[in-house]
Structure 1
């Protein structure tokens, strides 16, 4: 079986051991992850901190959008079940609230 050539920056485990910063610099320069190979198999992908955080933020935004769409779908199709405050919070819902003046909130 022949290996497909990826159109992304690559490095080997040996090169990574010699100079890890080189992989990060390549990832930053190419603005993409650097695939790390060990014996012709991809074993990982190196990203800069900025790239990693950007991907995590994008994932969070997509999860938020999915949650909004699921809620919108439920409302549109009438698949909505409501609960009373007592059903959600239990007996504490009927007790007067305890206000802590020193909790740090203005």
Structure 2
């Protein structure tokens, strides 16, 4: 059974007929417009402003997660650390300054 959504909906047929009208509806309602195909959600139409706002919020949330993960790692006291030499070892490698790599 199809659940009635509290957001604007349209059909794929209507989207094909008048795409700008659907985008304008998304702007006016300040929410996405669900596009239905045989009473199943096929996609959501957003205005450019809504799309950018969602991406900005997503980026901010990812940044916050990164900061929290970093704080958690730094708060741990039972960690083992290694020196640079232990990690990379020491290799006697000759560097050819004329190898063509700049």
Which bin holds the TM-score, normalised by the shorter protein?
Answer: 0.7 to 0.9
Structure-2 change in CA distance of 1:8 and 1:76 (3 Å): same
Aligned residue for 2:71? Answer: 72
The CA deviation at 1:76 is: 1.1
**Superposition misfits of 4+ residues, deviation over 3 angstroms:** 79-85
Larger Rg: 2
User: What secondary structure, in the 3-state scheme, does the structure 2 residue paired with 1:5 have?
Assistant: coil
Gaps spanning 5+ residues in structure 2: where? 92-102
Is 1:28 aligned with 2:27?
yes
Partner residue of 1:56? 55
Count of residues in Structure 1 that have an aligned counterpart in Structure 2: 90
Q: Unaligned stretches of 5+ in structure 1?
A: 92-106
TM-score normalised according to structure 1 size: 0.74
- CA offsets, 1:38-81, max 9 Å, x none? 11000000001111111111111100000000000011123654
State the TM-score, normalized to the length of structure 2.
Answer: 0.77
Determine the structure 2 residue equivalent to 1:84: 84
- Where does residue 96 of structure 2 map in the other structure? none
Q: Which moved more, 1:9-18 or 1:70-79?
A: 70-79
Question: What residue in structure 1 maps to residue 36 of structure 2?
Answer: 37
What's the C-alpha RMSD, in Å, of the aligned pairs? 2.4
